[in-house]
């Protein structure tokens, strides 16, 4: 049996953690004995933090306002966690946004913002954490990246988002050689039952959503916890699909991708008809 990374006493930073799946990950980590620092551009975090601390009857969570597209704010988030709790052990790069279809993005601003948050911010935060861990030869760290099934299946209605998620998966694989000092892994879920899916160009009635169904956030968080705890996993990407076995792979087999593309195209055709 693989050695299990003990989460008790560890300090985790979660970007985009003020609501939804990021907040759920924070709650799960605290339940396992960790302390968490939630970074979010939204100001919804403080109330959630108070509830976490009250439930734990201890100061185990705190909030720091952060726009991950701003390098200074992102570095400040990580430095704040170290100052607040004395260390950094886990970084969960959860922050992410959708782009708009190109027809509705004449200046490209939506695409640029998507790139800045989804991939530039993720790499910048990871680099800052890696430099912190490199200062002490005994220190170890875990990074969990949020990729997406969209990174494996081309989706023209959110092309920039899909491209960033493909980049995240590849970036994760590229850092596999940092183990065992730093283990970098990623989850790549399909559609998740959060407000994220309610974007104007998606929605619950979108053919892609009705075709694949929705994952519950806890299903994704369970795999995040798995990637943190399992010390044999480094550079791994877990593809999470509704009602199907979770697949640990570089990317789904070509036959799987081809089948999904055909089925998605057929679903889209039927929707238009």
What's the burial of 99, exposed, middle or buried (CB within 10 Å: 0-12/13-18/19+)? buried
- Positive or negative, the CA dihedral 15, 121, 129, 249 is positive
| DSSP sequence for 166-185 | HHHHHHHHHGGGGTTTEEEE
How far is Cα 265 from Cα 112, in angstroms, rounded to an integer?
28
Q: What pairing do the DSSP bridges indicate for beta strands 182-189 and 237-240? A: parallel
Contact yes or no for 249/255 (Cβ under 8 A): no
Active site residue 5: no
Phi, psi for 152 (deg, rounded to 5) = -110, -25
Strand, coil or helix: 139: coil
SS3 content of the chain, % helix, strand, coil (to 5): 50, 15, 35
Catalytic residue among 132, 161, 171, 211, which?
161
Contact yes or no for 60/30 (Cβ under 8 A): yes
The CA distances from residue 49 to 25, 39, 54, 58, 94, in Å, are 13, 11, 9, 11, 17
Max Cα-Cα span within the chain = 61
- What is the set of active-site residues? 161
């Amino acid at each position: 049996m693989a050695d299990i990374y003990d989460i008790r006493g560890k300090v985790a930073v979660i970007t985009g953690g003020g609501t939804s799946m990021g907040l759920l990950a924070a709650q799960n980590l605290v339940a396992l004995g960790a302390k968490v620092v939630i970074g979010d551009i939204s100001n919804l975090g403080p109330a959630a933090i108070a509830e976490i601390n009250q439930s734990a009857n201890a100061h185990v969570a705190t909030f720091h306002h952060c726009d991950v597209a701003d390098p200074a704010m992102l570095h400040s988030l990580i430095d704040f966690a170290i100052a607040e709790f004395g260390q950094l052990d886990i970084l969960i790069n959860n922050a992410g946004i959708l782009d708009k279809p190109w027809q509705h993005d004449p200046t490209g601003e939506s695409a640029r913002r998507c790139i800045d948050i989804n991939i530039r911010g993720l790499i910048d935060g990871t680099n800052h954490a890696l430099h912190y861990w490199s200062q002490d030869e005994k220190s170890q760290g875990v990074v969990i990246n949020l990729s997406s099934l969209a990174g494996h299946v081309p989706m023209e209605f959110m092309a920039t988002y899909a491209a960033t998620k493909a980049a995240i998966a590849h970036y994760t694989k590229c850092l596999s050689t940092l183990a065992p000092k730093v283990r970098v892994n990623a989850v790549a879920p399909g559609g998740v039952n959060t407000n994220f899916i309610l974007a104007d160009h998606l929605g619950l009635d979108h053919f892609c959503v009705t075709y694949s169904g929705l994952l519950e956030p806890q299903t994704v968080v369970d795999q995040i916890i798995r990637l943190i705890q399992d010390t044999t996993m480094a550079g791994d990407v877990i593809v999470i699909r509704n009602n199907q076995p979770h697949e640990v792979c570089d990317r789904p087999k070509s036959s799987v991708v081809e089948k999904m593309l055909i089925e998605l195209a057929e679903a889209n055709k039927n929707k238009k008809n």
